[in-house]
Structure 1
Amino acid sequence: MEGDSTTINITETPKERKGKAPLLATPPASSSIKPVVQKAPKRGYKRGLAILDVVLRIAGIAAALGAAIAMASTEETLPFFTQFFQFKAEFDDLPAFTFFVIANSITAAYLALSIPISIVCIVRPHLVAPRIILIFLDTVMVALTTAAAGGAASIVYLAHNGNSDANWPAICQQFTDFCQEVSGAVVASFLTVVVLMVLVVLSAFSL
């Protein structure tokens, strides 16, 4: 009949429904999103390195100052029958020993003056400029102290062993106290070199 309208219902089969993708993906739940929080670098280890730096500088002062004093106070006079004919050995008889005393005195003075800069690194562990200054100056002191200790060590070796090719006799059989004191001073100076090298490494780690 004319007034009747025919309605056709089209239903989707499961296969057709499975092949269609949603136009907009559903947003994930807000609870599953975890914000990324960047942790601030810890200051504890840098402050600990700065405290160790101060302790090592005090130890370096003791070693360098002890080496300089031991060498500067070294002398020995061999006893003979007459006071007008004596053999005497002093540190300033050899330029290498004189340079040794001056270099170790400079190193001890530098380490004492550098302690305030190291204390600043304890208070402000993230400052870069003081560490760069300490690395540069510590490296210079390593070179100076190594040169002084190496030069003195070569003289001590000759004093103990001599040199048959150059007809240089060993004098430590006569000047036993003199050789023992200068040998101890050289060992203390090399300990100062080791301390300075460790200080350079600590400053590099702090940076």
Structure 2
Amino acid sequence: MNYTYQYPHPAVTTDIVIFSVRDNELQVLLIKRGGEPFKGSWALPGGFVRMDESLDECAKRELHEEAGLEGVYLEQLYSFGAINRDPRERVISVAYYTLTPSAHLNPSAGTDASEVQWFAINDLPALAFDHVDIIRVARERLAAKMEYSTIGLQFMAEEFTLSQLQIVYEQATGKTLDKRNFRKWILSLDLIAETGKKFAAGAHRPAMLYRIKDPDRVEIIR
């Protein structure tokens, strides 16, 4: 198909924010750019939308090409269109995000990415383009979703304590939660059950271990 335009028009890209809770802290996956602009800088995986693909297809392709990841559920986040956000030309980016367990992910750099690495959300390096703003908006959306959903349960091992579960929610929301109120809320959902076993850590009193009753009832990020 040939495209002819009377007026100048912007290019469109997708950028992808992959969140995970690792080592008891919220982290985001970044790639190191192998080409200009911002060569050598850390950035979100992403790239230009081709003429023959949808936004969703572009996001999935770029995530695979730059970070070696496939089969990750992505939710469209927001559009970023500041006039000077890209030094090459007028570019509008449609951002995607997800919160996913990292245990089954094996990211690897590819195409124009020289490295790929997880970074703690509170200790990010200098980022290319306006990616710090994209991550901020994604974090706000994630925190809002955690307030009313049960997606935190998808991060738990087969058996876990309520304190371990609370850490996931605190990291995702960036808030310190009241222990009694959190436990009252999570138990009221009737999604987890005691295993009859306890977990001992250091000098602390052993804590009850729980399991998810029905994994199909646990929400994913959507």
Fold equivalence (TM over 0.5): no
Q: State TM-score, norm by structure 1.
A: 0.24
More strand by share: 2
Greater RCO between the two (CA within 8 Å, min separation 6)?
1
